[in-house]
A and B are shown apart, each in its own frame.
Chain A
Amino acid sequence: MSDPSPYPPPKGHRPYFFDDPAIDQLHTALLAVTQELSVARERIDTLERLLEQSGHLRRAAIETFQPDASAEAERTVQRAALVDRVLKPFVDYRENLFSRKRGQA
């Protein structure tokens, strides 16, 4: 979706440390996810602090918040969508195997 990076990767050989480069790639992806989680948590923290400063929120109220039935239902849908996105490569892999077999048949 976003534009390709305007700057090239660094010039020079890119080493891989494990026998299977896929393991290096998994580390790389895991770190990107961790970084984005860290960024998102920091944004939430900013929001909470700003809301508290402006008198719109007591942060202690977050800990005792009980979602009602409809909020819980919406969250369940959101959670499932997230799991779908994260595990998409595995689903794609399976579908790819399946469709190739079907194509060959």
Chain B
Amino acid sequence: MSDFTQHGMVPQVTHDERARQSFVKTFRAHLSGKVMPGNYQVFQKRVVPRFQAQHGRPPEDERELRAVMTQDPYYQFWSAMQRRSQEMLWESVIDPTERQLPELIQRAKQLADRKRGKGQAGSLHLDPDVAVPRYHAAADIHLQPGGYHTDFVADDVAAGVVYDKGINLYMGGALGPENNAMGDLLVTYFREKYPARQPKRILDMGCAIGNSTVVWARAFPQAEVHGIDVGAPVLRYAHARAESMNVPVHFRQANAEDTKLPAGSFDLIISHIMLHETSKSAIVNVMRESLRLLAPNGLMLHLEIPRGDDLMEQFMHNWESYNNNETFARYMTGLDLKAVAVKGGFVPAKTRVDHYSPGYDVAKTNYSESFIWKILVGEK
């Protein structure tokens, strides 16, 4: 019955804790399926006509639209509910995590220390000298208390435990039982477009809990798969989680802008919705670093979420920037990702942006009825 795999790092939930999580999930499906679309009706039938009557034209940019939409009672109602649902989402997952944290930390240590055969074991390398970048430290991304990076206690894994179940609830289970859908999508894309490639060394940037990294390691068992992130607690969790699934992945605390890894050491670099969690300068640095890390003829694939195709969709997607601590995401509206890669050193002829739609149920998309992924592709 569960749409969430009970791997070795999942906390137990009491009857009422599970019921609270179920409520959050049901409530969010109601919000996205039945309440959110009303914003588009309000926009068409009330906000635009009123603006038109006043100015003799429809709103022309997001600033103008924001000024009037945020005054509309329906939008205010949805926003208050949407914001609260996000807070409730984390609270429902934090309660069981806090209750069992010492035991979860112990479990993570046991999984990390388990003896494995050569080539079957992953690894974890933490580096306390890696500074948490300002774009993570300034505000807790997605409202998760402490973000990806805060150790509340020694050897903390809570950020990972909370994030894993949290994103399952956030997407109403649409990411799959192991939050595997983004990894599956990018693996499918890679196999379709590059059937001849057999990657030997894969790097997943901004891997967090390694939910996508594990998908790549399973899909290419002959490859050595690495995952990097700036957050120590998510990496401890990622390592223990992968070990409990018997999937060897090498996790390392490093910033994708400047990994300190040897030049030319990977033939495939991937990321899954990491770019919008960076900054204007960092995103270019990530391109530059990707190019440096790639071996000759190496390939990078950065998966990104849609930012809306028209003014209203863009406004709705940017709700996350203003109200869910997705601080940088709104700067990616209309951003030419290809130009960013070229600025980082990629050759225009070997760089492109592809689109892919998995056809999600409207009840599982939060801000618009269509959901089309972007893939930034660059070859060295």
Q: Which residues of A contact B (CB under 8 A)?
A: 6-13, 15, 17-18, 23-24, 27-28, 31-32, 34-35, 38-39, 42-43, 46
What is the CA–CA distance of A27 and B20 in the complex, to the nearest angstrom? 17
Q: Give the B interface residue count (CB, 8 A).
A: 36
B325→A35 contact, CB < 8 A: no
Residues on the A chain within 8 Å of B83, using CB:
15, 17
> Which one of B50-58, B73-81, B176-184, B259-267 contacts A?
B73-81
Could you say which of A10, A15, A24, A39 contacts B19, with CB atoms under 8 Å apart?
Answer: A39
**Which chain A residues border B26 with CB–CB below 8 Å?**
38
A38–B92 Cα gap in the complex (Å)? 13
B88 adjacent to chain A (CB < 8 Å) = yes
Given A31-B84, A42-B15, A12 and B22 touching (CB < 8 A)? no
A39 touches B79 (CB 8 A): no
Contacts A/B (CB < 8 Å), 11 sampled: A11-B138, A11-B145, A12-B140, A15-B322, A15-B323, A17-B79, A18-B76, A31-B27, A31-B85, A35-B23, A39-B23
The reply to whether A7 and B98 contact each other, CB–CB distance below 8 Å, is yes
B16–A43 touching, CB < 8 Å: yes
What 17 additional pairs, Cβ within 8 angstroms, besides A10-B140, A38-B22, A43-B19? Answer: A6-B98, A9-B145, A10-B87, A10-B144, A10-B146, A11-B138, A12-B138, A12-B143, A17-B77, A18-B80, A24-B80, A28-B84, A31-B27, A35-B20, A38-B19, A39-B16, A42-B16
Contacts between the two chains (Cβ within 8 Å), count: 82
User: Which of B23, B70, B143 touches A10 (beta carbons < 8 Å)?
Assistant: B143
**B5-41: which have CB < 8 Å to A?**
15-16, 19-20, 22-24, 26-27
How close is B143's CB to chain A, nearest CB, in angstroms? 4
Binding site for A on B (CB under 8 A): 15-16, 19-20, 22-24, 26-27, 70, 75-77, 79-81, 83-85, 87-88, 90, 94, 98, 138-140, 143-147, 152, 322-323, 325
A18 to B84, CA, bound (A): 14
Given contacts A12-B138, A18-B80, contact A43 B15 (CB under 8 A): yes
For residue B86, which residue of chain A has the nearest CB? A10
- B156 CB to nearest chain A CB (Å): 11
Q: How many angstroms between the C-alpha atoms of A39 and B79 in the bound complex? A: 24
| Cβ of B75 to closest chain A Cβ, rounded Å | 8
Which residue from chain A places its CB closest to the CB of B140 in the assembled complex? A10
**Lowest 9 A-B CB distances belong to which pairs?**
A12-B139, A10-B140, A42-B19, A10-B143, A39-B19, A17-B76, A17-B79, A38-B23, A27-B80
Q: Which residue of A lies closest to B17 (CB)?
A: A39
* Complex contacts, B15 vs chain A, CB 8 Å: 42-43, 46
Closest residue of A by beta carbon distance from B147: A11
Which residues on the A side are within 8 Å of B20 (C-beta)? 35, 39
What distance in Å separates the Cβ of A57 from its nearest Cβ neighbour in chain B?
Answer: 18
Q: What A residues does B75 contact at CB under 8 A?
A: 17
Bound complex: CA of A10 vs CA of B77, how far in Å?
22
Distance from A48 Cβ to chain B, minimum over Cβ atoms (Å):
13
Residues of A within 8 A of B144 (CB): 10
A18 surroundings in chain B (CB, below 8 A): 76, 80
* Distance to closest chain A CB from B335 (angstroms): 22
